[in-house]
Amino acid sequence: MAIRTIPCDTTPTLRLQAEDHLSVSGWDQPQIQIRVQDEASLHVRNENGGWWIRCEEDTVIQVPLDSVIQVDYVHGSMSAVNLKGALKIENVGGHLTLRDVGNVRCGNVGGHLKVFKINGDLVVTDIGGNLKGGEINGTLKAENTGGSIKLLDIRRAETLRAGGNIKVKLLELSSDLQASAGGSIKLWLPINSSYQLDASSGGERIVFQEGGQAVRQVAHRYQGIIGGGGVRLRLAAGGSIAILEGDWEEESVEEEIGLRLEGLGDQIARRVQEKMQRAEERSRMAQERVERAASRRAGRGEFLNIGGMSFNIESQPVTPRKQATEEERLIILNLLREKKITAEEANRLLDALEGRFSDR
């Protein structure tokens, strides 16, 4: 595994681009540490006082806690954990996991978005899958979610749009809320909440609480003042609408909304490690093949001296077996570059690997 460490201040600005999966996490060190399998796949430069980083394979990056980060694109999935600075994400092709981060603005997420403990505002334009999680301590705006929304303990929400169902518990009702769902809408509000309700239900079933009592409206549309009035709730659902007060109804909240977030960053780090191990194994096997090819005796012929070892090689035409692998070619090129063999000897080794020499 290749590790690159970049000294920096405690509030660096980073611009990231990833061709595969990306994991970003904060730590209390004044440096950026990048882990990849092959350093040739990593491109880094100083740009306008910050750092531009482009990764061509699975990458794990650790940055100072207060880093300001802009992610142009991630073609795979992404996780961001333990970050205090502003985080702006333009596009993630796969899933996105956010845990214990500050203010987040996100353009497009192709897969699911899982969030837990957002210590600021969360603004998302497009989510292809579901939005799940909880503990958003700022304002939530989810402009367009292709799947369902399930969120617990949201400080404030201004916009919720989902192709599926919406199921959200709000900690306070201090701003207008506009929510629309292809399925049903179910909101939990603080006890004794006051608001103006404008609700439209395709299922012709609207339920809300007033004075501690449930009020059912079997109608397509309801407009009215609940309690003493106040902020406006504009709700539109293809199915039913329910506005409840108190606790979430399920016993196992974490399981229901998916707060047991998978360690996506750990998964990406493991993928990098596994790829490195596979590459090392391929390299070892290629090295063994090169040595076996070099040591084949084919009658009389010249001796090659490689690393202090002498090998007798002579050509006899036989049916070719297969092409040399890229790893084998690389090993031979390295031997040639280090002047351990000549160009002619390198060609003979390649011939031996491809079956044009036979053992005697």
Taking Cα atoms as reference points, which of 308, 295, 287, 304 lies closest to residue 342? 304
Residue 151: CB atoms within 10 Å: 23
Whether the per-residue pLDDT at 343 is higher than 80: the answer is no
Locus of tokens 């092709």: 93
Whether the per-residue pLDDT at 224 is higher than 50: the answer is yes
**Which of 94-108, 200-214, 275-289 shows the highest mean pLDDT?**
94-108
Which SS3 state, helix, strand or coil, does residue 121 take?
Answer: coil
Q: What is the pLDDT of residue 213?
A: 74
For 263-277, b/e burial (b = at least 16 CB within 10 A) is: ebbebbbebbeebbe
What digits encode the pLDDT tens for the residues 70-126? 999 999 999 999 999 999 999 999 999 999 999 999 999 999 999 999 999 999 999
**SS3 readout for 59-92:** EEEEEECCCEEEEEEECCCEEEECCCCCEEEEEE
Q: CA-CA distance, 244 to 240, in Å (whole number)?
A: 13
> CA 144, 197, 188: angle at the middle one, nearest 5?
65
Residue 231 pLDDT grade (very low, low, confident, very high; cuts 50, 70, 90): very high
What digits encode the pLDDT tens for the residues 304-339? 555 555 555 444 444 444 566 666 767 777 776 666
41-50, 114-123, 152-161, 256-265: which range is least confident on average? 256-265
pLDDT: is 358 or 10 the higher one? 10
Whether the per-residue pLDDT at 277 is higher than 60: the answer is no
- Alpha-carbon torsion 279, 273, 262, 17, what sign? negative
User: What's the pTM value of the predicted model, to 2 decimals?
Assistant: 0.72
